[in-house]
Amino acid sequence: MLTIEKTIRNDFIHYCEDIWITEDSVWHNDRRLAAFTITEDFDGEHIGNPNPPKYRVNQRNEISEGVFIYDRIFGADTVCECKQMIEEYVNDDTTQYIAKYKEFDL
């Protein structure tokens, strides 16, 4: 079972936390990249979403060799809910199958 191994809350004006999980070790130069981030969700009526969640979970995605972005995968109203969703997501049978066959990096 994969679990959250480490978290670091970043010192930004808005909420931002990096999440590392067990059995995930992707490095860029001398820095281990977080598997997920939790950030405040700034969606709202200005983009057609009248009831956005307060926080969003973003997953690391390599778009080309050595270039990573963090795509939004879901949102929640609390950081605790986000962390629970991450653990459920990484332990889901489909996610495990995809990770096993390297169709995405987890």
Taking a C-beta distance cutoff of 8 angstroms, is the pair 58, 37 a contact? yes
pLDDT in tens, 32-77: 999 999 999 887 776 677 787 899 999 999 898 889 999 999 999 9
In a domain, 105, yes or no: no
* Per-residue pLDDT reduced to its tens digit, 90-102: 999 888 887 777 6
Overall domain count for the chain: 1
Question: Considering the domain boundaries, does residue 39 fall inside one?
Answer: yes
Within-domain flag for 48: yes
Q: Supply the pLDDT for residue 28.
A: 87
The chain-wide mean pLDDT, for the chain, equals: 87
CB within 8 Å of 56: residues ≥ 6 apart = 38, 39, 40, 41, 43, 72, 74, 75, 82
Which structural domain, as residue segments, surrounds residue 48? 4-100
Asked if residues 19 and 35 have their Cβ atoms less than 8 Å apart, the reply is yes
Q: What integer pLDDT is reported at residue 106 of this predicted model?
A: 47
106 belongs to a structural domain: no
